[in-house]
Amino acid sequence: MQRLQAYLFELLPPAGADERLMRRFCGSRRFVFNKGLALQKERHAAGLKHLSYADLCKHLTAWKADPAMTWLMEVDSQVLQQSLKDLCTAYRNFFEKRADFPQFKRKGEHESFRYPQRVRLDQPNGRIFLPKIGWLRYRASRYVEGDISQVTVSHRNGRWYVSIQTEREVERPVHPSTSMVGIDLGVARFATLSDGTFVEPVNAFRKAEVQLAKAQRRMSRKTRYSSNWKKAKAKVQKVQARIARIRRDFLHQTSTQISKSHAVVCVEDLRIRNMTASAAGTAEQPGSNVRAKAGLNKSILDQGWGTFVRQLAYKLEWRGGMIVEVDPRNTSRRCPECDHVDEANRPTQARFACVACGHEANADDVASINILRAGHARLACGETSPEGASAQEPTEARSRLAA
């Protein structure tokens, strides 16, 4: 099987010409994207068909020949072409209703550029060669395996990072475990497993919320784009980066531990965007419990459920396991003893008490058991998605579980 894997390292560019050149690459990429988007909007306003990637590349050649834009020649052509490819992808995602309409990129937000080829890696010496930039050192915290398919350089919170995506052929693994578990994701408990264990949440944002609010208030009092404003903004970004690192480390540790311990993991197919929609309503029809719903939305987004499920899916696949998503309806209202479904079965957020048979338990434990049973039912029917479509799965895991 083919394994795609990305390695993220911190770059160590010397302060000076190299860092200025990398910033110029980011700016040129942003300029080309915005210019291409403006051209597409002009054609759309005139009733013309939007340009393809090949047509945009022809315009890029003309822009580089313009005497007013000769500075684009200093940037590697691959970087500029990849920017136009990103624009075409954004348009395609919009037309296929997977994303909103493309927006102009602003300076200081998501600064990055990408190479699809011609990148060399000197792992023994911890160096990487980037075309038109040269050799740069990076923190070689692990060995990179496989053939390099693309390299992305990004700038976040005053630091430069390089993401190296590789691909290689590996033998299909066999998971060492034969166990199957259901997981209920929540706020009071981050993850409750059907084997009786649970994982406490890290609540990275909640713990730093006061500190972040103070830093944001200081920044709001400064004159926008002044030197003091930029210093205050850097402090805000530093707090936000620490929150993100704590959450990311927690999610990786938790998903790694679960993927090592269980061959098949059943989770709910949650629509997080719908769950975290605002309850404010409109001026004509204002919502109710707006403050409470806003607090709940903040707590849900602080957990990172979507990232956790994504990490769990690929880590299970790498180890020969599989993930099964089940319909979340009534998982916390169904009694695991008598199968009775009633909204009154859950009198409080944490307590489950069946009105039919009197069974009592923790609501999260009940939900995890029901999720596990729903996963068993889908595997028995040969389905691994809530819609009933069979997903790709390691046959070894299913055969060993059936045995």
Which residues participate in catalysis according to the annotation? 184, 268, 364
Question: Cβ(346)–Cβ(290) under 8 Å?
Answer: no
Amino acid at 129: F
Question: Cβ(260)–Cβ(311) under 8 Å?
Answer: no
* Alpha-carbon gap, residue 397 to 179, rounded angstroms: 10
Which residues are CB-neighbours of 10 under 8 A, at least 6 positions away?
A: 138, 139, 159, 160, 161, 162
388 forms beta bridges with none
Nearest to 370 by CA among 400, 398, 340: 340
Write the DSSP string, 119-155.
-EEETTTTEEEETTTEEEEB---S---SEEEEEEEEE
Which residues are CB-neighbours of 161 under 8 A, at least 6 positions away?
A: 8, 9, 10, 11, 153, 154, 155
Pairing of β 322-326 and β 264-268 = parallel
Q: Strand order in 120-122's β-sheet?
A: 120-122, 127-130, 134-137
* Alpha-carbon gap, residue 88 to 323, rounded angstroms: 32
